């Protein structure tokens, strides 16, 4: 039985807001990949617009956390949850930025005639979305094992990135004409790889929330 009903409700609300913020970034990532593969420049533009929404969520959740810290002066798990949420929004906000960056780069392909999006890009995109989604789920469901799975998945992401790097080098060697686009794709791959790192950061907070120890993996 709990005597802190209102606080518990506020904590649930905080988690709900986190999930909503994350949903926006998932949509941004999915749209940015679609915009890229389909050369849909309007869609790319809308992703940049969605980034404002993410920033808004960040501000509001931050306010909510600070208010809870002052009002409830949380300790133990409550304290860990609120402070983790404060740290997590920074990573989620960066994920939004990276999706927006991908879309901004997409516009650079407008003038390109030869356009051939490498297969690995949508694959990395899919994995990035999955990692982010599961990272935030691991936090709200208080599941450190799910966090471990995401951390493992990041190895897969890193492998794909290394593979992509090799492919890009090969491509440029074979046909220096495509160097410009190859480098743009390379940057996109780097953004996706970074998104994976942010998902891992989120998972570290999930694990901190459960164990009380913050370990960098």
By CB under 8 A, the residues from 61 to 100 that bind another protein are 73-80
Of 36, 132, 43, which Cα lies nearest the Cα of 93? 132
Residue 130 tokens read as 């999955």
Specify the residue, 15 or 133, whose C-beta has the smaller distance to another protein.
Answer: 15
State the nearest-atom distance from the C-beta of 120 to another protein, in Å: 41
Q: Which is nearer to another protein, 52 or 212 (CB)?
A: 212
Q: Which stretch binds another protein (CB under 8 A): 2-10, 50-58, 159-167, 186-194?
A: 2-10
Residue choice 9, 66, 211, 217 for contact with another protein (CB under 8 A)? 211
Q: Does 1 bind another protein (CB under 8 A)?
A: yes
Question: Considering the rule CB under 8 A, would residue 212 count as an interface residue with another protein?
Answer: yes
Identity of the residue, 7 or 41, whose beta carbon is nearer to another protein in the bound complex: 7
| 3 part of the interface to another protein, by CB under 8 A | yes
Phi, psi torsion values for 51, nearest 5 degrees: -60, -30
Q: How many residues bind another protein (CB under 8 A)?
A: 16
Question: Which C-beta is closer to another protein: that of 65 or that of 189?
Answer: 65
> What is the rounded CA–CA span in Å between residue 34 and residue 203?
27
Q: Can you read off the two tokens belonging to residue 53?
A: 């929404």
Only one of the segments 128-136, 175-183, 185-193, 209-217 lies at the binding site for another protein (rule: CB under 8 A); that segment is: 209-217
The footprint of another protein (CB under 8 A) covers 1-4, 7, 73-80, 211-213
């Amino acid at each position: 039985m709990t005597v802190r009903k209102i606080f518990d409700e506020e904590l649930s609300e905080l988690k709900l807001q986190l999930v909503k913020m994350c949903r926006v970034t998932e949509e941004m990532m999915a749209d940015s990949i679609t915009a890229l593969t389909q050369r849909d420049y309007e869609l790319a533009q809308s992703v940049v617009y969605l980034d404002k929404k993410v920033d808004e969520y960040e501000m509001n959740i931050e306010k909510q956390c600070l208010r809870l810290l002052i009002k409830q002066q949380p300790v133990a798990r409550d304290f860990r949850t609120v402070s983790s949420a404060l740290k997590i929004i920074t990573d989620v906000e960066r994920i939004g930025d990276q999706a927006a960056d991908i879309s901004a780069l997409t516009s650079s392909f407008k003038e390109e005639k030869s356009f051939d999006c490498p297969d690995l890009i949508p694959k990395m995109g899919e994995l990035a979305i999955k990692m982010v989604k599961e990272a935030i789920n691991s936090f709200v469901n208080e599941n450190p094992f799910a966090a471990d799975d995401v951390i493992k998945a990041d190895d897969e992401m890193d492998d794909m990135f290394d593979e992509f790097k090799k492919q890009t080098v090969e491509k440029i060697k074979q046909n220096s004409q495509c160097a410009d686009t190859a480098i743009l794709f390379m940057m996109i791959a780097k953004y996706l790889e970074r998104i994976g790192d942010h998902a891992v950061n989120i998972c570290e907070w999930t694990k901190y929330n459960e164990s009380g120890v913050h370990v960098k993996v």
